[in-house]
């Protein structure tokens, strides 16, 4: 039996259009499963529900119908304790990576907080070493750790957002338009890094993008969200 790090089964979602009396159906009976280390693309135009599907898989939004399984555990039926236990293995990076960091805190302190949250017993040196090895993997210089989020370029802050996620040892990551505001050269660097890390850490990734060409390079499998018929 194939093991999936995340699985959505027969998911349906609709929402009420503001100011009107009708429901808009985003998808009906959509099923999607991702294996560890697999990078799956999610393509569709703005407003077709790509980010909502990512949020449903991460348990941040509830589907109208259907189930989501984390490591084959149905999270809608699992207790709060179990969900909390698994929560940090299911991560997300956004289009605006700056929003992942408090503006008044140096990047290093923000990353230290994450390591201590996961390993409360770890001392300062082991935290520093863990952060150093993670950022080295992402080709980031140590000096940048002393900066505040607004002192970093778009590519640098996105890689720090990725570092922040990796410090949680995730098994699944939703990368929601991670490079749509970056230029081509930085985009190429970040997507290649994401591909390497997914394969190395056996991390499943749902890469959301409205750029089909990008998904064709990065992913073996692309899910196309059409508002009526999701095409797999």
Partner 1 sequence: MLRVSKLSIRSVIKRKQPVRGVSFSVQKGKAFTLVGETGSGKTLVAQAVCGNLSGELTADGKIEYKGVDLVRLSRREKRRLYGKELFLLPQEPDSALDPTMRVISQVAEVFRYVRGYAVKDLHHRLAPIFSDLDLSLSEAGRLYPCQLSGGMKQRILLAISLAVPAGFIVVDEPTKGLDKLSRTSAVHRLSNLLEKGKTLLCITHDLGVARELGGHMAVMYDGCIVESGSVNHVLNSPRHPYTRGLIGAAPENGMIPIDEEVLAAMKQPEKK
| Interacting residue ranges for partner 1, rule: CB under 8 A | 45-46, 95, 153-155, 177, 180-189, 191-192, 210-214, 216-218
Q: Cβ closer to partner 1: 1 or 213?
A: 213
Nearest approach, Cβ of residue 44 and partner 1 (Å): 9
Q: Cβ closer to partner 1: 1 or 18?
A: 18
Instruction: Say how far apart CA 27 and CA 12 lie, in whole Å.
Output: 5
Q: Residues 131, 116: contact at Cβ < 8 Å?
A: no
DSSP-derived 3-state class of residue 21? coil
- Strands ordered across the beta sheet of 6-16: 23-34, 6-16, 65-70, 73-74
Q: Is 165 exposed, middle or buried (0-12, 13-18, 19+ CB in 10 A)?
A: buried
Q: Cβ closer to partner 1: 82 or 192?
A: 192
Nearest approach, Cβ of residue 3 and partner 1 (Å): 30
Q: Cβ closer to partner 1: 47 or 102?
A: 47
Instruction: Say how far apart CA 44 and CA 64 lie, in whole Å.
Output: 21
Nearest approach, Cβ of residue 221 and partner 1 (Å): 17
* Cα-to-chain-centroid distance, residue 68: 16
Q: Cβ closer to partner 1: 6 or 223?
A: 223
Nearest approach, Cβ of residue 20 and partner 1 (Å): 11
Instruction: Say how far apart CA 157 and CA 149 lie, in whole Å.
Output: 7
Q: Cβ closer to partner 1: 167 or 175?
A: 175
Burial 172-205 (b: 16+ CB within 10 A, else e): bbbbbbbbeebeeebbebbbebbbebbeeeebbb
Q: Residues 69, 9: contact at Cβ < 8 Å?
A: yes
Nearest approach, Cβ of residue 123 and partner 1 (Å): 35
């Amino acid at each position: 039996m194939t093991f999936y790090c995340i699985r959505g089964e027969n998911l349906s979602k609709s929402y009420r259009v503001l100011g009107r009396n009708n429901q808009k159906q985003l998808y009906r009976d959509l099923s999607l499963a991702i294996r560890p280390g697999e990078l799956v693309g999610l393509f569709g135009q703005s407003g077709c529900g790509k980010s909502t599907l990512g949020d449903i898989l991460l348990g941040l939004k509830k589907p109208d119908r259907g189930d989501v399984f984390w490591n084959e555990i149905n999270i809608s039926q699992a207790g709060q304790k179990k969900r909390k236990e698994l929560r940090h293995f299911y991560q997300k990076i956004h289009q605006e990576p700056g929003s992942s960091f408090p503006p008044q805190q140096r990047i290093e302190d923000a990353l230290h907080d994450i390591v201590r949250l996961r390993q409360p017993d770890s001392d300062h040196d082991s935290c520093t070493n863990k952060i150093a090895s993670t950022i080295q993997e992402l080709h980031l210089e140590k000096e940048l750790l002393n900066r505040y989020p607004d002192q970093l370029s778009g590519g640098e802050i996105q890689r720090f957002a990725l570092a922040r996620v990796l410090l949680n040892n995730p098994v699944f990551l939703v990368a929601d338009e991670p490079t749509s505001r970056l230029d081509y050269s930085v985009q190429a660097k970040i997507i290649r890094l994401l591909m390497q890390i997914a394969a190395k850490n056996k991390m499943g990734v749902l890469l959301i993008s409205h750029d089909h060409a990008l998904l064709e390079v990065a992913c073996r499998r692309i899910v196309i969200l059409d508002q009526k018929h999701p095409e797999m």
